[in-house]
Amino acid sequence: MFKRQKILMGLLEQFGGELSRTRLQKLLFLYGERSGSAAYEFIPYKFGCFSFQAAADCRKLAEKGLLVEGDSWKLDGTTGRYLDALDYVERQTLWDLEKRFGSMTQRELVRHVYLSYPYYATRSEIAEDYLDPKELETVACCVPQAEGQGVCSIGYEGLSLEGYLNKLMRHGAQVVCDVRKNPLSRKFGFSKRTLSSALEYVGIEYRHFPALGIVSDKRQALNTQADYDALFAEYERTTLKTADDAVEEIAGLMKGKRIALLCYEKLPEQCHRTRVLKAVLKKHGKVCPVYWE
């Protein structure tokens, strides 16, 4: 069991063995904020802060028979072992969390999170039921203001799914253009099916352009920047020449929209999306903002 899963199970045990889905998400979020070492990362979602990884872990733990799934998440009845598996600081943080928030109703808990961390209420569909007009103005001020056409170049290396989505939302991305040959990943959330669903949940369109990818065999034995440069020079001479339709399609998506090019590598100089971006901007033919992450 991963450390984050042990904390999730310990939190359930600390709070009596059962929590509603919304309450569990909020308490996991507050655990991270109070501990300074988040077990999970979160995005603003339709009920406030939400972690796709936490939801996936709950389902996985239920498959193993450790949780009972329903309108709430419930321990299998075995207690005592989950808190004991945590260190003193983790147990103390959970105890403090229960002392501070254990007596709150779900409504009070949601209000607390919305008021204390308004960014995570910016996509809430229920905020108007919990906040007054002045409080809603505070939330509105936290909505990312990026608008208009532009392109973001963001590699997901070192990022969680939630961390990646937060970057996209803060940049105002409307379309993600996946330029991987094979959109599969051992990293949670970045295979095509899961990623496209997560993007849909936050209102971002997903488009896959396999013609612009590089086969994995050619990415072996890249030890120096010179190796990368040689690979990408060949890529420009070959793949980009034959994938002009894909480049033109991405350039067309940029008309009035903000797009993001998706691939793995964090460093732009070590990822072919930089060459794709160069070709797209040339095809687009107009000056537009470029954002690197």
Residue-by-residue pLDDT tens, the chain, 293 positions: 899 999 999 999 999 999 999 999 999 999 999 887 778 999 999 999 999 999 999 999 999 999 999 889 999 876 568 999 999 999 999 999 999 999 999 999 999 999 999 999 999 999 999 999 999 999 999 998 777 788 999 999 999 999 999 999 999 999 999 999 999 999 999 999 999 999 999 999 999 999 999 988 888 888 899 999 999 999 999 999 999 999 999 999 988 889 999 999 999 999 999 999 999 999 887 767 787 77
Question: For residue 179, what pLDDT is reported?
Answer: 96
Question: For residue 291, what pLDDT is reported?
Answer: 79
State the angle between helix axes of 21-35 and 52-63 in degrees (0 to 180), rounded to the nearest 10: 120
Question: For residue 149, what pLDDT is reported?
Answer: 80
* CATH number, domain 150-292: 3.40.1010
Question: For residue 6, what pLDDT is reported?
Answer: 95
Question: Which residue shows structure tokens 């991963």?
Answer: 2
Our CA angle for 121, 123, 128, nearest 5°, is 65
Read off the tokens for 86. 């945590």
Distance between CA 132 and CA 62 in Å, rounded? 38
pTM passes above 0.85: yes
Question: For residue 78, what pLDDT is reported?
Answer: 66
Q: Which long-range contacts (CB under 8 A, 24 or more apart) does 96-104 make?
A: 96/34, 97/11, 97/14, 97/27, 97/30, 97/31, 97/34, 98/14, 98/15, 101/27, 101/30, 102/15
255 exposure class (CB count in 10 Å sphere: 0-12, 13-18, 19+): exposed
Read off the tokens for 244. 């002009």
| Sequence ranges of the domains in the chain | 3-140, 150-292
Question: For residue 146, what pLDDT is reported?
Answer: 73
